[in-house]
A and B are shown apart, each in its own frame.
Chain A
Amino acid sequence: MVNLDRQSEGEVSASIYPIDLERKICDYYNLDDESKKEIVKMAREITPKTNGVKIDRKVYEFNLNESVKKYILG
Protein backbone atom coordinates (compact mmCIF):
# COMPACT_ATOMS: atom_id res chain seq x y z
CA MET A 1 0.00 0.00 0.00
CA VAL A 2 1.10 3.55 -0.66
CA ASN A 3 2.04 5.35 2.50
CA LEU A 4 0.10 8.57 2.06
CA ASP A 5 1.08 9.94 5.47
CA ARG A 6 4.69 10.21 4.44
CA GLN A 7 3.97 11.40 0.99
CA SER A 8 4.90 14.92 0.07
CA GLU A 9 2.95 17.34 -2.11
CA GLY A 10 3.36 15.41 -5.36
CA GLU A 11 4.03 17.50 -8.43
CA VAL A 12 5.73 20.80 -7.63
CA SER A 13 8.17 21.05 -10.52
CA ALA A 14 8.91 24.25 -12.37
CA SER A 15 10.91 24.36 -15.57
CA ILE A 16 11.75 26.64 -18.47
CA TYR A 17 10.95 23.75 -20.79
CA PRO A 18 7.64 21.84 -20.59
CA ILE A 19 9.17 18.44 -19.96
CA ASP A 20 5.72 16.87 -19.69
CA LEU A 21 5.15 17.92 -23.30
CA GLU A 22 8.57 16.55 -24.30
CA ARG A 23 7.63 13.22 -22.76
CA LYS A 24 4.19 13.12 -24.38
CA ILE A 25 5.52 13.81 -27.88
CA CYS A 26 8.39 11.33 -27.59
CA ASP A 27 6.06 8.68 -26.16
CA TYR A 28 3.66 9.18 -29.04
CA TYR A 29 6.45 8.28 -31.44
CA ASN A 30 7.56 5.32 -29.29
CA LEU A 31 11.09 6.60 -28.94
CA ASP A 32 13.77 5.03 -26.81
CA ASP A 33 15.69 7.08 -24.23
CA GLU A 34 18.66 7.77 -26.46
CA SER A 35 16.45 9.13 -29.24
CA LYS A 36 14.44 11.19 -26.74
CA LYS A 37 17.60 12.86 -25.47
CA GLU A 38 18.77 13.75 -28.96
CA ILE A 39 15.39 15.11 -30.03
CA VAL A 40 14.91 17.21 -26.90
CA LYS A 41 18.43 18.57 -27.27
CA MET A 42 17.76 19.55 -30.89
CA ALA A 43 14.43 21.21 -30.04
CA ARG A 44 15.87 23.11 -27.06
CA GLU A 45 18.76 24.41 -29.13
CA ILE A 46 16.57 25.88 -31.84
CA THR A 47 13.85 27.39 -29.63
CA PRO A 48 14.40 31.06 -28.82
CA LYS A 49 13.78 32.43 -25.32
CA THR A 50 12.13 35.76 -24.65
CA ASN A 51 13.69 37.72 -21.82
CA GLY A 52 16.40 35.04 -21.85
CA VAL A 53 14.19 32.63 -19.91
CA LYS A 54 10.69 32.16 -21.29
CA ILE A 55 9.92 30.02 -24.32
CA ASP A 56 6.73 29.99 -26.39
CA ARG A 57 5.06 26.63 -25.76
CA LYS A 58 3.54 26.41 -29.24
CA VAL A 59 6.83 27.20 -30.97
CA TYR A 60 8.52 24.62 -28.78
CA GLU A 61 5.88 22.01 -29.57
CA PHE A 62 6.35 22.68 -33.27
CA ASN A 63 10.13 22.39 -32.91
CA LEU A 64 9.81 19.13 -31.00
CA ASN A 65 7.71 17.64 -33.77
CA GLU A 66 10.11 18.90 -36.41
CA SER A 67 13.07 17.44 -34.49
CA VAL A 68 11.33 14.07 -34.27
CA LYS A 69 10.81 14.06 -38.03
CA LYS A 70 14.37 15.14 -38.69
CA TYR A 71 15.69 12.45 -36.36
CA ILE A 72 13.55 9.59 -37.62
CA LEU A 73 13.40 10.31 -41.31
CA GLY A 74 16.96 11.62 -41.53
Chain B
Amino acid sequence: MTTTVVKSVTGRYHLKIDGRVVGISKHLPDDWREDYNRNQPRDGRGRWTSGGGGSRGGGRGGGGGLANKRVSELQEIAKKEGIDVDTLSHKRRKSVLTAAIKAKRKNKDLREEGLLKPVKPKGGLRGQAKSKTKFTKKPIKGEGLTGDNASVVRSKQEFFKLYDQWEKEVETQELATKISNLNIAVNNRKESIKEAKAAGDSHVTFFDNVKMDHAVLLENNRYHRKNKSLKIESKEGKTIYKSDFINQALATVSQREDGKYVSSASHLYRFGTIEAAFNTKAEANKHAKTSAEVYLATKVFPIKKVEAALNEQQSKDIGKLKQRLAEKKITDFSGENLDRIVDNKIIHRDVRDAIQYENAKALAIKDKSGNLQSAIAYDIIPSIGRKNQQETALYIEYLATAPWNAARSSDSRAARGAGARALAESIKQAKKEKADKVQLVALEGAKPFYNKMGMTYRGKEDDGYFEIAVDSSQAKTLIEKYG
Protein backbone atom coordinates (compact mmCIF):
# COMPACT_ATOMS: atom_id res chain seq x y z
CA MET B 1 0.00 0.00 0.00
CA THR B 2 1.49 3.36 -1.02
CA THR B 3 0.31 6.58 0.59
CA THR B 4 0.90 9.89 -1.12
CA VAL B 5 -0.16 13.47 -0.47
CA VAL B 6 -0.67 15.61 -3.54
CA LYS B 7 -1.55 19.27 -3.69
CA SER B 8 -4.54 19.81 -5.97
CA VAL B 9 -5.07 22.65 -8.39
CA THR B 10 -7.37 24.37 -5.91
CA GLY B 11 -4.67 24.33 -3.25
CA ARG B 12 -6.24 21.53 -1.23
CA TYR B 13 -4.28 18.46 -0.23
CA HIS B 14 -5.39 15.07 -1.48
CA LEU B 15 -4.39 12.04 0.55
CA LYS B 16 -4.08 9.10 -1.84
CA ILE B 17 -3.77 5.44 -1.01
CA ASP B 18 -2.75 3.30 -3.96
CA GLY B 19 -3.65 6.16 -6.28
CA ARG B 20 -7.17 6.59 -4.93
CA VAL B 21 -8.16 9.79 -3.11
CA VAL B 22 -9.20 8.95 0.46
CA GLY B 23 -9.03 12.36 2.10
CA ILE B 24 -9.13 16.05 1.27
CA SER B 25 -7.83 18.85 3.45
CA LYS B 26 -7.11 22.54 3.25
CA HIS B 27 -4.21 22.28 5.64
CA LEU B 28 -1.73 19.52 6.30
CA PRO B 29 -1.85 17.12 8.01
CA ASP B 30 -4.80 16.55 10.33
CA ASP B 31 -7.67 18.63 9.06
CA TRP B 32 -9.25 16.13 6.65
CA ARG B 33 -12.73 16.94 5.48
CA GLU B 34 -15.21 15.64 7.95
CA ASP B 35 -17.92 15.06 5.39
CA TYR B 36 -15.68 12.97 3.18
CA ASN B 37 -16.91 9.42 2.99
CA ARG B 38 -14.55 6.92 1.38
CA ASN B 39 -17.37 4.40 1.05
CA GLN B 40 -19.48 6.82 -0.96
CA PRO B 41 -21.00 5.04 -3.97
CA ARG B 42 -19.16 5.47 -7.25
CA ASP B 43 -20.15 4.76 -10.81
CA GLY B 44 -18.31 2.53 -13.28
CA ARG B 45 -15.80 5.25 -14.03
CA GLY B 46 -14.97 5.84 -10.36
CA ARG B 47 -16.97 9.10 -10.08
CA TRP B 48 -18.97 9.94 -7.00
CA THR B 49 -22.60 9.29 -7.74
CA SER B 50 -24.29 11.03 -4.82
CA GLY B 51 -23.74 13.44 -2.00
CA GLY B 52 -20.65 15.44 -1.13
CA GLY B 53 -17.31 15.75 -2.75
CA GLY B 54 -18.25 17.41 -6.05
CA SER B 55 -15.50 19.60 -7.40
CA ARG B 56 -16.50 23.20 -7.97
CA GLY B 57 -16.92 23.74 -11.67
CA GLY B 58 -15.06 20.58 -12.44
CA GLY B 59 -18.13 19.09 -13.97
CA ARG B 60 -17.72 15.67 -12.39
CA GLY B 61 -20.86 13.70 -11.64
CA GLY B 62 -22.55 13.57 -8.24
CA GLY B 63 -21.27 16.32 -6.09
CA GLY B 64 -24.31 17.05 -3.94
CA GLY B 65 -24.64 20.42 -5.69
CA LEU B 66 -27.38 21.64 -7.95
CA ALA B 67 -26.94 18.74 -10.34
CA ASN B 68 -28.40 16.33 -7.80
CA LYS B 69 -31.47 18.37 -6.97
CA ARG B 70 -34.95 17.66 -8.22
CA VAL B 71 -36.84 20.16 -10.34
CA SER B 72 -39.03 21.21 -7.39
CA GLU B 73 -35.97 21.67 -5.18
CA LEU B 74 -34.24 23.73 -7.85
CA GLN B 75 -37.35 25.88 -8.20
CA GLU B 76 -37.30 26.51 -4.45
CA ILE B 77 -33.63 27.47 -4.55
CA ALA B 78 -34.28 29.75 -7.52
CA LYS B 79 -37.10 31.50 -5.62
CA LYS B 80 -34.82 31.97 -2.63
CA GLU B 81 -32.25 33.55 -4.94
CA GLY B 82 -34.93 36.02 -6.02
CA ILE B 83 -35.69 34.53 -9.44
CA ASP B 84 -39.25 34.66 -10.74
CA VAL B 85 -39.44 31.07 -11.98
CA ASP B 86 -42.42 31.80 -14.24
CA THR B 87 -40.35 34.17 -16.33
CA LEU B 88 -37.75 31.51 -17.16
CA SER B 89 -37.74 30.10 -20.67
CA HIS B 90 -38.30 26.55 -19.29
CA LYS B 91 -39.29 26.54 -15.64
CA ARG B 92 -39.33 22.74 -15.37
CA ARG B 93 -36.02 22.16 -17.11
CA LYS B 94 -33.15 21.37 -14.75
CA SER B 95 -30.51 22.85 -17.04
CA VAL B 96 -32.37 26.17 -17.25
CA LEU B 97 -33.03 26.32 -13.50
CA THR B 98 -29.42 25.46 -12.66
CA ALA B 99 -28.05 27.97 -15.16
CA ALA B 100 -30.40 30.66 -13.81
CA ILE B 101 -29.34 30.04 -10.18
CA LYS B 102 -25.67 30.10 -11.11
CA ALA B 103 -26.12 33.26 -13.21
CA LYS B 104 -28.04 34.99 -10.42
CA ARG B 105 -25.32 34.11 -7.90
CA LYS B 106 -22.75 35.66 -10.21
CA ASN B 107 -24.98 38.76 -10.58
CA LYS B 108 -25.37 38.12 -14.30
CA ASP B 109 -28.37 39.37 -16.26
CA LEU B 110 -30.73 36.44 -16.89
CA ARG B 111 -32.03 38.01 -20.10
CA GLU B 112 -28.53 38.44 -21.50
CA GLU B 113 -27.82 34.84 -20.57
CA GLY B 114 -30.83 33.83 -22.68
CA LEU B 115 -32.64 32.20 -19.76
CA LEU B 116 -35.86 34.21 -19.83
CA LYS B 117 -38.91 33.93 -22.08
CA PRO B 118 -38.74 36.23 -25.10
CA VAL B 119 -40.56 39.54 -24.72
CA LYS B 120 -43.07 40.26 -27.45
CA PRO B 121 -43.20 43.88 -28.57
CA LYS B 122 -46.62 45.40 -27.99
CA GLY B 123 -48.81 47.05 -30.64
CA GLY B 124 -47.97 47.37 -34.31
CA LEU B 125 -51.22 46.10 -35.82
CA ARG B 126 -53.36 49.21 -35.60
CA GLY B 127 -50.85 51.79 -36.61
CA GLN B 128 -49.42 52.11 -33.12
CA ALA B 129 -45.71 52.54 -32.96
CA LYS B 130 -44.02 49.31 -31.98
CA SER B 131 -42.07 49.54 -28.77
CA LYS B 132 -38.44 49.12 -29.62
CA THR B 133 -36.92 45.85 -28.50
CA LYS B 134 -33.36 46.23 -27.36
CA PHE B 135 -30.95 44.15 -29.40
CA THR B 136 -27.39 43.72 -28.39
CA LYS B 137 -26.75 43.07 -32.03
CA LYS B 138 -28.52 43.77 -35.28
CA PRO B 139 -31.05 41.15 -36.32
CA ILE B 140 -30.15 39.26 -39.47
CA LYS B 141 -32.00 40.32 -42.57
CA GLY B 142 -31.97 38.90 -46.04
CA GLU B 143 -29.12 41.11 -47.16
CA GLY B 144 -25.43 41.36 -46.59
CA LEU B 145 -23.78 38.38 -48.22
CA THR B 146 -26.79 37.14 -50.17
CA GLY B 147 -26.99 36.54 -53.93
CA ASP B 148 -24.27 38.17 -55.99
CA ASN B 149 -22.77 39.91 -52.98
CA ALA B 150 -20.78 36.79 -52.30
CA SER B 151 -19.54 33.70 -54.09
CA VAL B 152 -18.85 30.13 -53.07
CA VAL B 153 -15.38 28.60 -52.90
CA ARG B 154 -15.13 24.83 -53.12
CA SER B 155 -11.55 24.35 -54.19
CA LYS B 156 -9.23 23.51 -51.31
CA GLN B 157 -6.37 25.34 -52.99
CA GLU B 158 -8.35 28.58 -53.19
CA PHE B 159 -9.59 28.14 -49.64
CA PHE B 160 -6.04 27.86 -48.26
CA LYS B 161 -5.01 30.93 -50.23
CA LEU B 162 -7.90 32.93 -48.77
CA TYR B 163 -7.41 31.43 -45.30
CA ASP B 164 -4.14 33.38 -44.93
CA GLN B 165 -6.33 36.45 -44.32
CA TRP B 166 -7.68 34.82 -41.17
CA GLU B 167 -4.27 33.67 -39.99
CA LYS B 168 -3.12 37.29 -40.13
CA GLU B 169 -5.79 38.12 -37.56
CA VAL B 170 -4.38 35.66 -35.03
CA GLU B 171 -2.12 38.32 -33.51
CA THR B 172 -5.19 40.40 -32.68
CA GLN B 173 -6.99 37.33 -31.37
CA GLU B 174 -4.06 36.53 -29.10
CA LEU B 175 -4.30 39.98 -27.55
CA ALA B 176 -7.87 39.12 -26.59
CA THR B 177 -6.63 35.80 -25.18
CA LYS B 178 -4.05 37.63 -23.04
CA ILE B 179 -6.67 40.03 -21.65
CA SER B 180 -8.98 37.14 -20.93
CA ASN B 181 -6.22 35.13 -19.19
CA LEU B 182 -5.08 38.11 -17.12
CA ASN B 183 -8.63 38.90 -16.08
CA ILE B 184 -9.13 35.30 -14.98
CA ALA B 185 -5.80 35.21 -13.12
CA VAL B 186 -6.45 38.49 -11.31
CA ASN B 187 -10.00 37.52 -10.41
CA ASN B 188 -8.86 34.11 -9.16
CA ARG B 189 -6.24 35.81 -7.02
CA LYS B 190 -8.84 38.14 -5.60
CA GLU B 191 -10.91 35.07 -4.77
CA SER B 192 -7.90 33.54 -2.95
CA ILE B 193 -7.49 36.76 -0.96
CA LYS B 194 -11.13 36.60 0.06
CA GLU B 195 -10.66 33.01 1.25
CA ALA B 196 -7.46 33.87 3.13
CA LYS B 197 -9.15 36.86 4.78
CA ALA B 198 -12.07 34.71 5.85
CA ALA B 199 -9.62 32.22 7.38
CA GLY B 200 -7.92 35.07 9.29
CA ASP B 201 -4.57 34.65 7.48
CA SER B 202 -2.12 37.52 7.16
CA HIS B 203 -0.61 36.18 3.95
CA VAL B 204 -1.99 34.63 0.82
CA THR B 205 -0.38 32.01 -1.40
CA PHE B 206 -1.02 32.02 -5.12
CA PHE B 207 -0.88 28.61 -6.72
CA ASP B 208 -1.36 29.94 -10.24
CA ASN B 209 -0.24 27.77 -13.04
CA VAL B 210 -0.43 30.71 -15.35
CA LYS B 211 2.75 32.58 -16.15
CA MET B 212 1.53 36.10 -15.58
CA ASP B 213 3.78 39.07 -15.00
CA HIS B 214 4.84 39.07 -11.35
CA ALA B 215 6.72 42.37 -11.52
CA VAL B 216 4.13 44.54 -9.78
CA LEU B 217 3.43 41.94 -7.13
CA LEU B 218 7.08 41.28 -6.43
CA GLU B 219 7.81 44.95 -6.06
CA ASN B 220 5.21 45.05 -3.36
CA ASN B 221 6.34 41.89 -1.68
CA ARG B 222 8.86 42.99 0.90
CA TYR B 223 9.43 39.54 2.36
CA HIS B 224 12.78 38.96 0.74
CA ARG B 225 14.07 42.31 1.98
CA LYS B 226 12.56 42.55 5.43
CA ASN B 227 12.41 39.03 6.69
CA LYS B 228 15.02 36.64 5.48
CA SER B 229 14.86 34.26 8.39
CA LEU B 230 13.03 30.98 8.01
CA LYS B 231 11.68 28.75 10.71
CA ILE B 232 13.77 25.57 10.74
CA GLU B 233 12.45 22.43 12.41
CA SER B 234 13.85 18.92 12.75
CA LYS B 235 11.47 15.99 12.64
CA GLU B 236 12.15 12.28 12.09
CA GLY B 237 15.63 12.98 10.72
CA LYS B 238 14.35 15.63 8.31
CA THR B 239 15.18 19.33 8.30
CA ILE B 240 12.04 21.31 7.49
CA TYR B 241 12.06 24.90 6.26
CA LYS B 242 8.92 26.84 7.15
CA SER B 243 7.93 30.48 7.43
CA ASP B 244 6.52 32.25 10.48
CA PHE B 245 3.28 33.13 8.79
CA ILE B 246 2.22 30.15 6.72
CA ASN B 247 1.78 26.70 8.11
CA GLN B 248 3.41 24.93 5.22
CA ALA B 249 6.69 23.10 4.73
CA LEU B 250 8.42 24.99 1.92
CA ALA B 251 11.43 22.69 1.65
CA THR B 252 12.86 19.66 3.42
CA VAL B 253 16.27 17.99 3.58
CA SER B 254 16.61 14.28 4.25
CA GLN B 255 19.26 11.60 3.79
CA ARG B 256 18.70 8.90 1.21
CA GLU B 257 19.67 5.24 1.59
CA ASP B 258 22.68 5.75 -0.70
CA GLY B 259 24.03 8.39 1.72
CA LYS B 260 23.18 11.38 -0.45
CA TYR B 261 21.24 14.36 0.90
CA VAL B 262 18.05 15.28 -0.90
CA SER B 263 16.55 18.75 -0.91
CA SER B 264 12.85 18.65 -1.74
CA ALA B 265 11.27 22.06 -2.39
CA SER B 266 7.83 23.29 -3.49
CA HIS B 267 7.76 23.72 -7.25
CA LEU B 268 7.21 27.26 -8.45
CA TYR B 269 5.10 26.68 -11.53
CA ARG B 270 3.81 23.17 -11.18
CA PHE B 271 2.10 21.50 -8.28
CA GLY B 272 4.17 19.15 -6.16
CA THR B 273 7.85 19.33 -5.36
CA ILE B 274 11.19 19.43 -7.13
CA GLU B 275 14.06 17.34 -5.79
CA ALA B 276 17.84 17.65 -5.97
CA ALA B 277 20.48 15.30 -4.50
CA PHE B 278 23.77 16.50 -2.95
CA ASN B 279 26.87 14.86 -1.50
CA THR B 280 26.97 17.03 1.62
CA LYS B 281 24.27 18.13 4.02
CA ALA B 282 25.45 21.76 3.83
CA GLU B 283 24.88 21.86 0.06
CA ALA B 284 21.39 20.36 0.42
CA ASN B 285 20.54 22.83 3.20
CA LYS B 286 21.70 25.75 1.07
CA HIS B 287 19.52 24.55 -1.83
CA ALA B 288 16.48 24.04 0.42
CA LYS B 289 16.89 27.42 2.13
CA THR B 290 17.26 29.31 -1.15
CA SER B 291 14.29 27.44 -2.69
CA ALA B 292 12.12 28.23 0.32
CA GLU B 293 13.09 31.91 0.18
CA VAL B 294 12.36 32.13 -3.53
CA TYR B 295 9.01 30.41 -2.98
CA LEU B 296 8.06 32.91 -0.29
CA ALA B 297 9.19 35.84 -2.40
CA THR B 298 7.28 34.78 -5.50
CA LYS B 299 4.29 32.86 -4.20
CA VAL B 300 3.40 34.21 -0.76
CA PHE B 301 2.20 37.78 -0.39
CA PRO B 302 1.02 39.95 2.50
CA ILE B 303 -2.71 40.48 2.04
CA LYS B 304 -2.56 44.15 2.97
CA LYS B 305 -0.37 45.06 0.03
CA VAL B 306 -1.35 42.54 -2.56
CA GLU B 307 -4.87 43.85 -3.16
CA ALA B 308 -3.60 47.24 -4.19
CA ALA B 309 -0.91 45.62 -6.30
CA LEU B 310 -3.46 43.49 -8.11
CA ASN B 311 -5.65 46.47 -8.89
CA GLU B 312 -2.60 48.27 -10.17
CA GLN B 313 -1.68 45.30 -12.34
CA GLN B 314 -5.21 45.05 -13.66
CA SER B 315 -5.34 48.68 -14.67
CA LYS B 316 -1.77 48.89 -15.99
CA ASP B 317 -1.24 45.61 -17.84
CA ILE B 318 -4.78 44.98 -18.97
CA GLY B 319 -5.19 48.66 -19.81
CA LYS B 320 -2.19 48.51 -22.13
CA LEU B 321 -3.49 45.39 -23.87
CA LYS B 322 -6.93 46.95 -24.31
CA GLN B 323 -5.31 49.95 -25.90
CA ARG B 324 -3.53 47.70 -28.39
CA LEU B 325 -6.78 45.88 -29.13
CA ALA B 326 -8.56 49.19 -29.67
CA GLU B 327 -5.90 50.04 -32.25
CA LYS B 328 -7.06 46.89 -34.05
CA LYS B 329 -10.59 48.35 -34.10
CA ILE B 330 -11.99 46.18 -31.31
CA THR B 331 -13.52 48.20 -28.50
CA ASP B 332 -15.95 45.75 -26.92
CA PHE B 333 -13.94 44.30 -24.03
CA SER B 334 -16.82 42.41 -22.43
CA GLY B 335 -16.05 38.86 -21.32
CA GLU B 336 -18.50 37.48 -23.89
CA ASN B 337 -16.85 39.26 -26.78
CA LEU B 338 -13.36 38.27 -25.66
CA ASP B 339 -14.55 34.65 -25.36
CA ARG B 340 -16.01 34.82 -28.86
CA ILE B 341 -12.70 36.09 -30.25
CA VAL B 342 -10.73 33.41 -28.39
CA ASP B 343 -13.11 30.65 -29.57
CA ASN B 344 -13.04 31.91 -33.14
CA LYS B 345 -9.27 31.40 -33.37
CA ILE B 346 -9.66 27.77 -32.34
CA ILE B 347 -12.60 27.13 -34.66
CA HIS B 348 -11.06 28.66 -37.77
CA ARG B 349 -7.91 26.64 -37.21
CA ASP B 350 -10.06 23.53 -36.71
CA VAL B 351 -11.70 24.23 -40.09
CA ARG B 352 -8.28 24.52 -41.71
CA ASP B 353 -6.90 21.38 -40.02
CA ALA B 354 -9.96 19.27 -40.87
CA ILE B 355 -9.66 20.25 -44.54
CA GLN B 356 -5.88 19.87 -44.61
CA TYR B 357 -5.29 16.77 -42.54
CA GLU B 358 -8.60 14.93 -42.13
CA ASN B 359 -9.72 15.04 -45.72
CA ALA B 360 -12.87 17.05 -44.98
CA LYS B 361 -14.37 18.94 -47.89
CA ALA B 362 -14.27 22.73 -48.06
CA LEU B 363 -17.10 25.16 -48.63
CA ALA B 364 -16.30 28.82 -48.13
CA ILE B 365 -17.95 32.17 -48.76
CA LYS B 366 -16.00 35.13 -50.13
CA ASP B 367 -17.36 38.60 -50.64
CA LYS B 368 -17.02 40.80 -53.70
CA SER B 369 -13.75 42.25 -52.42
CA GLY B 370 -12.28 38.78 -52.08
CA ASN B 371 -12.48 38.59 -48.27
CA LEU B 372 -13.06 35.14 -46.83
CA GLN B 373 -16.24 35.67 -44.77
CA SER B 374 -17.04 32.16 -43.54
CA ALA B 375 -15.91 28.58 -44.06
CA ILE B 376 -17.19 25.07 -43.51
CA ALA B 377 -15.36 21.75 -43.24
CA TYR B 378 -17.85 18.99 -44.05
CA ASP B 379 -18.25 15.33 -44.87
CA ILE B 380 -21.05 13.16 -46.22
CA ILE B 381 -21.98 10.52 -43.61
CA PRO B 382 -24.81 8.11 -42.77
CA SER B 383 -27.10 10.57 -40.99
CA ILE B 384 -27.14 10.65 -37.18
CA GLY B 385 -30.36 9.22 -35.68
CA ARG B 386 -31.45 7.78 -39.04
CA LYS B 387 -34.50 5.55 -39.25
CA ASN B 388 -33.79 4.63 -42.81
CA GLN B 389 -30.39 2.92 -43.27
CA GLN B 390 -29.89 4.64 -46.63
CA GLU B 391 -30.32 8.15 -45.26
CA THR B 392 -27.24 10.34 -45.53
CA ALA B 393 -26.33 13.79 -44.29
CA LEU B 394 -23.93 16.55 -45.10
CA TYR B 395 -22.33 16.84 -41.68
CA ILE B 396 -20.78 20.21 -40.90
CA GLU B 397 -17.76 19.28 -38.81
CA TYR B 398 -16.75 22.90 -38.28
CA LEU B 399 -18.26 26.21 -39.30
CA ALA B 400 -16.32 29.40 -38.66
CA THR B 401 -17.07 32.98 -39.47
CA ALA B 402 -14.27 35.44 -40.26
CA PRO B 403 -12.37 36.84 -37.25
CA TRP B 404 -13.61 40.37 -38.07
CA ASN B 405 -17.19 39.09 -37.96
CA ALA B 406 -16.75 37.17 -34.70
CA ALA B 407 -15.32 40.17 -32.86
CA ARG B 408 -17.50 43.21 -32.43
CA SER B 409 -15.08 45.24 -34.44
CA SER B 410 -15.48 48.28 -36.63
CA ASP B 411 -13.38 46.59 -39.29
CA SER B 412 -14.59 47.59 -42.74
CA ARG B 413 -14.52 43.93 -43.84
CA ALA B 414 -17.20 42.92 -41.28
CA ALA B 415 -20.36 41.73 -43.00
CA ARG B 416 -23.73 40.38 -41.98
CA GLY B 417 -25.04 37.00 -43.02
CA ALA B 418 -21.73 35.14 -43.36
CA GLY B 419 -22.95 32.14 -41.33
CA ALA B 420 -26.41 32.17 -42.90
CA ARG B 421 -25.01 32.18 -46.43
CA ALA B 422 -22.64 29.34 -45.59
CA LEU B 423 -25.55 27.32 -44.21
CA ALA B 424 -27.71 28.03 -47.26
CA GLU B 425 -24.86 26.93 -49.55
CA SER B 426 -24.36 23.77 -47.50
CA ILE B 427 -28.01 22.81 -48.16
CA LYS B 428 -27.50 23.38 -51.89
CA GLN B 429 -24.32 21.30 -51.72
CA ALA B 430 -26.14 18.52 -49.84
CA LYS B 431 -28.70 18.38 -52.67
CA LYS B 432 -25.90 18.14 -55.21
CA GLU B 433 -24.27 15.29 -53.32
CA LYS B 434 -27.66 13.59 -52.87
CA ALA B 435 -27.64 13.86 -49.07
CA ASP B 436 -31.00 13.99 -47.30
CA LYS B 437 -30.10 16.33 -44.48
CA VAL B 438 -27.60 18.87 -43.18
CA GLN B 439 -26.49 18.19 -39.61
CA LEU B 440 -24.17 19.93 -37.16
CA VAL B 441 -23.36 20.44 -33.49
CA ALA B 442 -23.55 24.11 -32.50
CA LEU B 443 -21.62 25.86 -29.78
CA GLU B 444 -23.84 26.89 -26.86
CA GLY B 445 -23.82 30.54 -27.88
CA ALA B 446 -24.73 29.70 -31.47
CA LYS B 447 -27.86 27.66 -30.69
CA PRO B 448 -30.25 30.64 -31.04
CA PHE B 449 -28.77 31.32 -34.48
CA TYR B 450 -29.49 27.81 -35.78
CA ASN B 451 -32.97 27.89 -34.27
CA LYS B 452 -33.56 31.12 -36.12
CA MET B 453 -32.33 29.50 -39.32
CA GLY B 454 -35.17 26.97 -39.05
CA MET B 455 -33.05 24.00 -38.04
CA THR B 456 -34.45 21.42 -35.62
CA TYR B 457 -32.66 20.47 -32.41
CA ARG B 458 -32.52 16.70 -31.83
CA GLY B 459 -31.06 14.34 -29.29
CA LYS B 460 -30.30 14.96 -25.63
CA GLU B 461 -31.26 18.27 -24.09
CA ASP B 462 -27.71 19.45 -23.48
CA ASP B 463 -25.90 17.20 -25.93
CA GLY B 464 -27.92 17.25 -29.12
CA TYR B 465 -27.41 18.32 -32.70
CA PHE B 466 -29.18 20.46 -35.27
CA GLU B 467 -30.54 19.20 -38.56
CA ILE B 468 -32.54 20.37 -41.54
CA ALA B 469 -33.98 18.19 -44.30
CA VAL B 470 -32.86 19.47 -47.69
CA ASP B 471 -36.38 19.11 -49.15
CA SER B 472 -38.16 20.82 -46.25
CA SER B 473 -39.98 24.14 -46.53
CA GLN B 474 -37.54 25.58 -43.95
CA ALA B 475 -34.61 24.70 -46.20
CA LYS B 476 -36.36 26.32 -49.17
CA THR B 477 -37.01 29.51 -47.18
CA LEU B 478 -33.42 29.58 -45.95
CA ILE B 479 -32.04 29.31 -49.47
CA GLU B 480 -34.46 31.94 -50.80
CA LYS B 481 -33.57 34.34 -48.02
CA TYR B 482 -29.84 33.89 -47.72
CA GLY B 483 -28.69 31.91 -50.72
Contact = CB atoms under 8 A, between A and B. Distances in A.
B194 to A, nearest CB: 16
A45 interface: no
Q: Is the interface of B mostly helix, strand, loop or mixed?
A: mixed
Contact of A16 (B58, B180, B398, B409): B398
B440 A14 contact: yes
B416 interface: yes
Contacts of B379: 52-53
A30 B188 contact: yes
Interface residues of A, number: 48
B58 A65 contact: yes
A60 to B, nearest CB: 9
A51 B208 CA distance: 39
A11 B9 contact: no
Interface stretch (B123-131, B298-306, B443-451): B443-451
B68 to A, nearest CB: 15
Interface stretch (B149-157, B238-246, B336-344): B336-344
Contacts, number: 176
A57 to B, nearest CB: 4
Chain B interface bracket (under 10, 10 to 19, 20 to 34, 35 or more)? 35 or more
B256 interface: no
A31 to B, nearest CB: 6
B272 interface: yes
A6 to B, nearest CB: 5
A72 to B, nearest CB: 6
A38 interface: no
A54 B344 CA distance: 20
13 contacts: A2-B408, A7-B405, A8-B405, A9-B420, A10-B340, A13-B401, A13-B442, A13-B446, A14-B440, A17-B350, A29-B209, A51-B384, A61-B59
Given A9-B420, A12-B420, 6 more contacts: A8-B401, A8-B414, A8-B417, A12-B419, A62-B59, A64-B59
